[in-house]
Amino acid sequence: MKKTGYFILALLALVSCQTKEYTPVEEGLDGGVYKIVAKLSDETRVSITDGGKASWQSGDKIALYDGSSFVTFNLTDPATGEFSGPAGSYTGLAVYPADGVYAWSVDAGNLIVDLPAAYTYAPGQTSAPMIAKAGTGETTFYFTAVSGLFKFSFSNVPDGVDTFRFATSEKVNGSFNLGVPAPGTTICEIDGAANDAEKAITVTIPAGLHADDMVFYIPAPVTNAGRKYAGFAVSLSAYGVPSAEVSSSKTWELARHQMQRMKNVDCHNALPDRLYMVGDCLDKGWSFDVDQSLAKVAPGIYRASDVLLKTSGGFKIYFNADWSASWLSVDAENSGYTSETGFADLNLIGGEFYKAREGVGDTQIYLNGRGYYAPFSYDFEVNLNTRKFNVTPHKIYYVGGCVDSWGLTESQMLTQTSPGVYECDLTIKDVEDWNGLQFYSMPEYWGASWAADVEHSTHSDIILTTRKEYKDAHGDTDPQFYPLQLGYTPGDYHLTLNFNTMRITLN
């Protein structure tokens, strides 16, 4: 069929198709090869603004039924519509396409078509189911559509999107009984869905085929008096992480030969205004409360400041304030906390996608097991464009007997100068070595949150570690950083804590 540059073999005709007249070739056998002419009925039109009519293109295949199976015929002349295949005894029934996208069969005289639940996007393939039936001795076949067509257009499709999922209220994949084939009247009619899986179609985008603007044509069963399409929910996803979720509440009645169009959707604008965090480690628990949500600050980027985490428990990030909405997890297999990457090495993955891949039932985000200290206040950033979850401490305090003051006051708070980087000026006093320096996550004097890894640090390379890591390695519940022991002398310094590199610097 005429190609549109997009994947699902879209039968009907697409925008640039031109009307063609076909001249039948000589009928019959030619060296053991059976030649037929396949013509497209005038009915095969689509309801698009600039009209159009379907036309054949090199590579198209049809199949003729021989009474027990369908035999593939290849297009040999796009201009005339000539197809060639093996000689044999055929019933006159022909179907399109015959390339494995759809499975065709005949049961007790009824034509059965299986519409797939998953497609692979491939530029240049555009067809949907059609049938034809020639009379005894005839070799000219007139093809007509048995389905309708949905057209979806998207702009600003985020980089890395690898999957489109189209979900609706009715059955759009699976086996459909077309009855006794009669071209022009046979339709692929909506049937009751056995489960939710039959109400959705997934399209996978292979690497290298992504584009900023993408169009998809979805062949779909036509409606009857009792059934209608109650809108579509479309999810653009990378590794199960929705890059946009588009919902249409419009009710559609789809007829044979008819195309319904979803207007061009800007994927950036389709993103929700905020993401919702719920879970045991949050103050409001399992409640979709705006106070613990992430607000959209740019297309695909969401932030929340000063989020307090409790000492235990996990949380989830939902796309909507709805338990049935898509949700996010941290990709444990491809993420981790190390002294090199610090707080910046958390990759996102779709919750359901992760469950299926890992075979687990709970995919909450647990930060305590990744080197984060709680209770503590953090700044969160979810970047759907890069699939990153960035977590940085909201405020850092210091205290110690070796510095110019004791106790926790505003003058002893480090200032965040960039994501994960905190700085302040301080004076180191000439005191005994046991008077060290500690870093806290909250303005209360209990339990240091971070310290220096004294075993592995040097004067020029001071490694920042968490209290938990320090305690596990040294059995010390109150770790301190002793600048004098690393060769520093009393005086004024500029202190920097860098959680991206997990390093302390004194200049």
Distance (Å) of CA 204 to CA 122, 246, 248, 283, 465: 9, 17, 22, 39, 42
> CA–CA separation, 120 vs 206, rounded Å?
7
Edge-to-edge strands, sheet with 274-279: 348-350, 327-330, 315-318, 274-279, 293-298, 301-309, 376-383, 388-393
Could you give the percent of the chain with pLDDT greater than 90? 32
Summarised one tens digit per residue, pLDDT across range 239-283 is: 888 888 888 878 888 887 777 888 788 988 888 899 999 999 998
Helix (H, G, I), strand (E, B) or coil at 486: helix
**Would you identify the CATH topology of the domain 274-393?**
Immunoglobulin-like (2.60.40)
Distance of CA 247 to the CA centre of its chain: 15
Tokens 């999957």: give the residue: 163
pTM: 0.67
Query: Any idea which fold 396-506 has?
Result: Immunoglobulin-like (2.60.40)
The mean per-residue pLDDT over the stretch 300-313 comes to 87
pLDDT of residue 46: 38
Q: Return the closest-CA partner of residue 327 out of 354, 351, 348.
A: 351
Q: What was the pLDDT predicted at 302?
A: 96
Q: Once rounded to an integer, what is the mean pLDDT over residues 74-98? A: 92
CATH 2.60.40.3620 residue ranges for the chain: 274-393
CA distance 384 to 487: 45
Highest mean pLDDT, choosing among 110-119, 147-156, 416-425? 110-119
Q: Which residue has the higher pLDDT, 201 or 192?
A: 201
Q: Is the pLDDT of residue 476 over 70?
A: no
pLDDT for residue 351 is more than 80: yes
Q: What is the pLDDT of residue 10?
A: 35
Q: Higher model confidence: residue 401 or residue 70?
A: 70
Percentage, residues of the chain above pLDDT 70 = 82
**In angstroms, how far is CA 67 from the centroid of its own chain?**
44
pLDDT value of residue 408 = 65
pLDDT at 223: 86
The string of pLDDT tens digits covering residues 25-59 is 333 444 567 888 988 765 544 333 334 456 787 88
What's 128-177 look like in SS3?
A: CCEEEECCCCCCEEEEEECCEEEEEEEECCCCCCCEEEEEECCCCCEEEE
**Mean pLDDT for all residues in the chain:** 81
